[in-house]
Amino acid sequence: MAALVWGRGFSRAWLRRSAGPGCGRHYRAAVCTELKQPLAIEEVTPRPVRPHEVRVDVHFCGVNFADILVCRGQYQERPHLPFTPGMEFSGTVLETGTDVCTVKQGDRVIGVSGLNGMAEECVIDQKRLWQIPESIPLREAAALPASYGTAILALERRACTQPGETVLVTAAAGATGLAVIDVATNVLQAKVIAAAGSDEKCKLAMQRGAQSSVNYSQGSLKEAVKKLVGSGGVNVVIDTVGGDVFLEALHSLAWEGRIVVVGFAGGTIASVPANLLLLKNVSAMGVIWGRYKDQNFPLFSGSISSALQYCQQGRIQPYIGAVFKLEEVNDAFLHVMQRKSTGKVLLSLK
């Protein structure tokens, strides 16, 4: 339904250019001027950098479901209109404030901004930038922060996944799902069962490292998992779907299993039957990667540093399913909302 509302009457005519106040050079940005309406492309006047800030020439920006929710007024954080979405990006440093000591002009960086990433330039606090090793292309680097940061914290911090354990991941062909498969298989040496809503997506998950797969649009997830692992169940579940899929995954846990709630892409938030937690001594927990930025910044920063290190070492490899131009930002949003996307979706600003 959300995709239908967003797409009703959609055309490139929604994209407009308007110069901001002042004169001199401008840069383009995708701007949300009204909730639940397509974004506009506007010419924006750069603002000066403060002493602790950095101006970045943005090359790629991730398109996340959270970006769509914030543009619909359905996210936890509700910025004042107008605003530019985009929580993660990669690019090169253009200018640094007088107090900046972590990066210099010309450095290749990834940034986690919360907002303002879907623009040709972004001004951001130096603490929210990480240098990119030379061996990692800017395109792949932009796919790391949210998806791999979430996967690392969900698997390592929350679920304490051990080598040889079995991990069930739902929405396995999405950006987070494929990141979970990548980290679980190639870093933690766990076995992965990928659950997705189509045979095509299951095939992709298998190609990316899952040992087996389940198409939960064709029947009971619980029964399919039981056929794969027996009555013992799986050790860890990473769920981004919610609803009935979450409940069936919960029933699939082994003794002292752990289920980590990452999101509710299916649109339904399930109630946890507490008796199941008791009977198998299982743990149900959540992970919101972005909240660690305020609650435990060293851990938040460490998840990004780990993703960069794993990528530099060749242990993980982000899968980028689609790249759109900035002026195609509304097409990119629809692509995600209509569940056509696999892996990471990016905007290219160049």
CATH code, domain carrying 99: 3.90.180.10
Same domain, 210 and 285: yes
pTM score, whole prediction: 0.93
Q: 297-312 and 145-152 helices cross at what angle (nearest 10)?
A: 100
Q: What is the pLDDT of residue 21?
A: 44
41 and 83 part of one domain? yes
User: Do 189 and 165 share a domain, yes or no?
Assistant: yes
In the chain, what percentage of residues exceed pLDDT 90? 89
Instruction: Look at residue 83 in the predicted model and tell me its pLDDT.
Output: 97
* Same domain? 130 vs 195: no
Give the DSSP per-residue string, 88-144: EEEEEEEEE-TT--S--TT-EEEEE-SS--SBSEEEEEGGGEEEPPTTS-HHHHHTS
> Which pLDDT does position 20 carry in this prediction?
42
pLDDT tens column, 237-287: 999 999 999 999 999 999 999 999 999 988 899 999 999 999 999 999 999
Q: Is the pLDDT of residue 89 over 90?
A: yes
Supply the pLDDT for residue 339.
85
Q: Write out pLDDT tens, residues 9-65.
A: 343 424 454 444 445 789 999 999 999 999 999 999 999 999 999 999 999 999 999
Residue 232: which CATH number?
Answer: 3.40.50.720
Residues 154 and 285 reside in one and the same domain: yes
pLDDT exceeds 60 at position 234: yes
Q: What is the pLDDT of residue 24?
A: 72
What is the pLDDT, as a whole number, of residue 18? 45
Q: Mean pLDDT across the chain, nearest whole number?
A: 93
Whether residue 224 has pLDDT greater than 50: yes
By the 8 A CB rule, do 213 and 196 touch? yes
Average pLDDT value for residue range 170-197 = 98
Domain assignment of residue 225, given as a range: 146-291
Q: Is the pLDDT of residue 132 over 70?
A: yes
Residue-wise pLDDT for 281-332, tens only, equals 999 999 999 999 999 999 999 999 999 999 999 999 999 999 999 999 999 9
Q: Is there a single domain that holds both residue 96 and residue 167?
A: no
Q: Are residues 323 and 204 in the same domain?
A: no
* Judgement on whether residues 96 and 153 belong to the same structural domain of the protein: no
Query: How does pLDDT run across 159-172, given as a tens digit for each residue?
Result: 999 999 999 999 99
Q: What is the pLDDT of residue 44?
A: 95
What are the residues whose beta carbons fall under 8 Å from the beta carbon of 125, sequence distance 6 or more?
52, 53, 54
For residues 267 and 208, state if they share a domain: yes
Asked whether residue 3 is assigned to any structural domain, the reply reads no
pLDDT of res. 265: 87
